[in-house]
Amino acid sequence: MTERRTDDSVSGDEHVPVLLQEVLTHLVRRAPTPEDPGGESGIFVDATFGRGGHSRKLLERLSPQGQLLGLDRDPEALAEARRLAEHDPRFSFCQARFSELQDVLRDQRIDGVRGLLMDVGVSSPQLDRPERGFSFAAQGPLDMRMNPDEGLSAAEWLNQADEAEIAQVLWMYGEERQSRRIARAIVAARPLVTTLELADLVVQALPRPRGPQRKHPATRTFQAVRIFVNEESQELDKGLQQGFRSLAVGGRLAVISFHSLEDRKVKHAFRQFSQPPKMPRRLPVQHLDQEVQGRLIGGPMKPSLAELNTNPRSRSATLRVIEKVR
């Protein structure tokens, strides 16, 4: 999401858009200057609006003819999006998932996006509100849904899933080595109702750590359950495919990820877009060159030391950018 924090160890009310300068530099290449105040005039999409941190800065670099469409599945993003739309007619918003991107663009009669941003995962506003149930550091209902009107809550799923399924989810989406031990403890302790019940249960289920720990023991469990409940892995796969297909030639897709599972998906998809498909050896090389659809823009980008000093929550962020060439 747009304004990010990477764990529950950071508190505060300010939600700072992560890797902001890098996003602006690589998405909006014709920035306004005193000599040339025009800026970009194409259509841009912020597919994870959040509370609008990236969107506001993107709008500052667009020309009066530019357009920015914001998307977010979280209904709480709608109020902030409405305020921004009232202030700037170049901005519009639609409550939607990544997997609905092409449908939204078709409904909006948008063909050929100049730049698209995806900031993957949970946002700071979601973590900062205990009643949303994302945080293991504060008491709240065990919910974790990015859209509370859709699907099962974390509590509903954990209280009905069998032990093997829970263990598989913890391993697959949290890379939790003690997934079976934690799943067994969850089943024995059901029903679970609150975030702290789950967090305390994980702490008690795990072996006592040796030496200091940088992360809370429940970090991987909460990450895994959240990803599963919100179908984040499937949504990211669909969003990457639809996002790249939606670009105009010369348009760019920028994706910010916050853990290795997300970044591997982005890296794999970008490799697929930027390399020729495997073809029979008898075909000429120039034919293969014509099949390349994308060009990687630099390598993975990490926050600068200056950003880390002012926004420690950005420390695990990675930005990758690809440009459509055909």
Domains of the chain and CATH, by start? 20-124+232-324 (3.40.50.150), 147-229 (1.10.150.170)
Lowest mean pLDDT among 185-194, 200-209, 289-298, 306-315: 289-298
The predicted-structure confidence for 238-290, as pLDDT tens digits, reads as follows 999 999 999 999 999 999 999 999 999 999 999 999 998 766 666 555 555 55
Distance CA(66)–CA(42), nearest Å, equals: 5
What per-residue confidence (pLDDT) applies to 5? 38
**Are the CB atoms for 104 and 96 separated by under 8 Å?**
yes
What per-residue confidence (pLDDT) applies to 177? 95
Q: Torsion over CA of 145, 50, 257 and 312, rounded to 10 degrees?
A: -110
What per-residue confidence (pLDDT) applies to 13? 37
pLDDT category at 16 given cuts 50, 70, 90 is confident
Does residue 31 carry a pLDDT above 80? no
pTM of this structure: 0.88
Lowest mean pLDDT among 76-80, 221-225, 317-321: 76-80
Q: Which among 324, 146, 135, 143 has a CA at the least distance from the CA of 232?
A: 146
Distance CA(84)–CA(90), nearest Å, equals: 10
What per-residue confidence (pLDDT) applies to 11? 33
Query: Of all residues in the chain, what percent carry a pLDDT higher than 70?
Result: 88
Does residue 151 carry a pLDDT above 50? yes
Q: What is the mean pLDDT of residues 161-188?
A: 98
pLDDT category at 37 given cuts 50, 70, 90 is low
**Are the CB atoms for 182 and 174 separated by under 8 Å?**
no
Amino acid, res. 314: S
Tokens read off for 119: 């900031």
Beta carbons within 10 angstroms of residue 173's beta carbon = 21
Q: What is the mean pLDDT of residues 17-28?
A: 94
What per-residue confidence (pLDDT) applies to 1? 43
Lowest mean pLDDT among 19-28, 37-46, 65-74: 37-46
For 1-15, give the DSSP string. Answer: --B--SSTT---S--
Helices (H), the chain: 20-27, 53-60, 77-87, 101-107, 124-128, 154-158, 163-174, 179-189, 195-205, 219-229, 232-246, 260-274, 285-291, 305-310
What per-residue confidence (pLDDT) applies to 283? 57
The predicted-structure confidence for 81-118, as pLDDT tens digits, reads as follows 999 999 999 999 999 999 999 999 999 999 999 999 99
What per-residue confidence (pLDDT) applies to 123? 81
Q: Output helix, strand, coil percentages for the chain, rounded to the nearest 5.
A: 45, 15, 40
Instruction: List CB contacts of 149: < 8 A, sequence separation 6 or more.
Output: 75
Does residue 217 carry a pLDDT above 50? yes
Distance CA(208)–CA(36), nearest Å, equals: 61
Distance CA(296)–CA(266), nearest Å, equals: 12
